Structure 1
Amino acid sequence: MKKPSKQELILDAIIQTYLKSRMPIGSLELQMKMTLGISPSTIRIYFKKLSDVGSLEQLHVSGGRVPTHRALMGYWQEKLDPTHPLEIKNIDKIKRSSHEHNLFCIVEKTANSPFKELVTVQNRFLILVFDEHEVVLKFNAKVEQFLQRLFGCQMRELKDISAQVGLYELHEKLSAIFSQAPILREGEREMYSIAQELQNEAFIQRFQTLHFVESITDGLYFDGFVPQGCMAIKQKAQLKDEDTTVDFFCFGRIESDFEEFFNQVKE
């Protein structure tokens, strides 16, 4: 792994300090926080370089620096890995930490899992096995034969197919799974506060759609899907206390300390 340069270390230190304080950072303050033995005058030189490349900005002539939106985007892309499942101790941790960091969070059972197995029970029942769910139907030899051609099909796709071919019992039971309420939906006040501040309510309707989390891929989301100045992350999570896999969605201002939030919910 490539060793970070002094400029990269200084930018990281500025961002980490800013995430904690939300205040502009001066060279003397940063020098006291860093352990590299860099003088304030040298830090000021790097401040100038980082400002020239668009990583820092100075809100007031006599004030310290703050990281730009672009720098914060780069920082989160480097620090957070949404492709790696998050281990969460329990739901209460998310409730407390989401309020502390002013974040909007949704946790819901992963519904769109693949159709993995079909079990026939004494020619009386058919059991469709998914990762987190099982669906029981009355036995029908033609239905059994039809379903055997659909292994690997995602649950949502199977729900749509069942409606198209007239398997109404299956469609009704799969629809019931998708209509289940989220395990957790916390921080709506913060979501509305951001909408009011930015005069942008378009994203709220999307966030209120039932199971919208399931419809988006794991990843980091910036301008476009969320308002400018905000960030969202969607990833799989493992609830340790319940030994179950869930979809986890988190949204807030880009300067929110997402890193500290994730550290807290894992403890």
Structure 2
Amino acid sequence: MINKSEYILKSIIKTYLEEQNPIGSMLLQDNLNVPASTIRVYFKRLDLEGYICKLHASGGRIPTQKAMQQYWQNYFSKQKEITLKNTYTLLNINKDYELFAMLIDNFDYELKEVLNINEQFILLNFNAMQAILDYSEDRFNFFSQFLNLNLASIKIILNKLALNYELKQINKMQNDGIYYLCGEKKFANIVKLNSFNSILNSNLLDYFNNDLVFSELFLPENMGVSLDCFYLNKKCKLILAGSIYTNYEEVLNSLKEAM
């Protein structure tokens, strides 16, 4: 059962996401029907615990990055697969919420065949997608041992062995699985790396071992989320990235309403 401190913190966060202004005790008093004096006691406690902070001496409070990370981790852990009929809604989200969006195949594939094409090429058959490599006997034997292994595991092995050519060819195959992309400028402003060319493609999916990514990839007060999505009769991933203070509840509701 949620305690009063958690209840007030959640109310601060939800109100801040709607108002985008510091939250005072009087506003919460009206919203929660709790005396302002009681709310101020919890303000002090939450401030000491690092969940809220004051921007100005006499101003209201805003949730900290710590609070927002916990809030979104809890929120997105309960989300189910969403369905997209078209990409117009993603363009609207990019404009309305200043979000980066990428709709991409989830690449949940296994290596089904390793074919020797006239000792000139090697064809790696991952279900509905194929990667083509220059032939060598060692390379053919190397990949033959990975039959029925999933694509993600194979890429981990290639990364560990620094087999850059093989990775490049597989990434080239995966780039064909990007169905939509918008908000590249936004992404450039919030990503940690000086150059984002190496990840503004199918490689971006490799950073989302967990559904949510914070400081591992993004600058402070920013985040990315990977959502299970169904598009064009395919299981996909929808990656959204932007400010940690964006109202992602509204974003997801707008996607669901467009179904």
TM-score range, shorter chain: 0.7 to 0.9
Compute the TM-score of the two structures, normalised by the length of structure 2. Answer: 0.74
The alignment status of 1:212 with 2:208, answered yes or no, reads no
**Residue in 1 aligned with 2:246?**
256
User: What secondary structure sits across from 2:22 in the alignment?
Assistant: coil
Alpha carbons of structure 1 residues 100 and 130: separation in structure 2 relative to 1, 3 Å: same
Alpha-carbon distance in structure 1 between the residues aligned to 2:255 and 2:182: 14
Alpha-carbon distance in structure 2 between the residues aligned to 1:203 and 1:84: 33
Counterpart contact for 2:130–2:173, Cα < 8 Å: no
- 2:183 aligned residue (179, 184, 187): 187
**Residue in 2 aligned with 1:70?**
66
Alpha-carbon distance in structure 1 between the residues aligned to 2:2 and 2:237: 33
Moved more, 80-89 or 249-258: 80-89
**Residue in 1 aligned with 2:5?**
7
- Pairing of 1:227-238 with structure 2 (within 5 A): 227-238=219-230
Alpha-carbon distance in structure 2 between the residues aligned to 1:30 and 1:105: 34
Matched to 2:202, the amino acid is H
User: What secondary structure sits across from 1:255 in the alignment?
Assistant: coil
**Residue in 2 aligned with 1:49?**
45
Alpha-carbon distance in structure 2 between the residues aligned to 1:258 and 1:28: 26
- 1:134 offset after TM fit, Å? 5.4
Compute the TM-score of the two structures, normalised by the length of structure 1. Answer: 0.72
Matched to 2:246, the amino acid is S
The alignment status of 1:226 with 2:226, answered yes or no, reads no
- 1:71 offset after TM fit, Å? 0.8
Aligned alpha-carbon RMSD (Å): 3.6
The alignment status of 1:91 with 2:81, answered yes or no, reads no
- Structure 1 stretches of 5 or more lacking a match? 119-126, 138-145, 162-170
- 1:28 aligned residue (3, 26, 34): 26
Counterpart contact for 2:51–2:63, Cα < 8 Å: yes
- Structure 2 stretches of 5 or more lacking a match? 115-122, 133-140, 159-166
Counterpart contact for 1:83–1:219, Cα < 8 Å: no
Counterpart contact for 1:213–1:234, Cα < 8 Å: no
User: What secondary structure sits across from 2:202 in the alignment?
Assistant: coil
- 1:23 offset after TM fit, Å? 0.7
- 1:254 offset after TM fit, Å? 0.9
User: What secondary structure sits across from 1:183 in the alignment?
Assistant: strand
Matched to 2:6, the amino acid is E
**Residue in 2 aligned with 1:140?**
none
Paired residues, number: 233
- 1:85 offset after TM fit, Å? 3.6
Q: Which has the larger radius of gyration?
A: 1
- 1:263 offset after TM fit, Å? 1.9
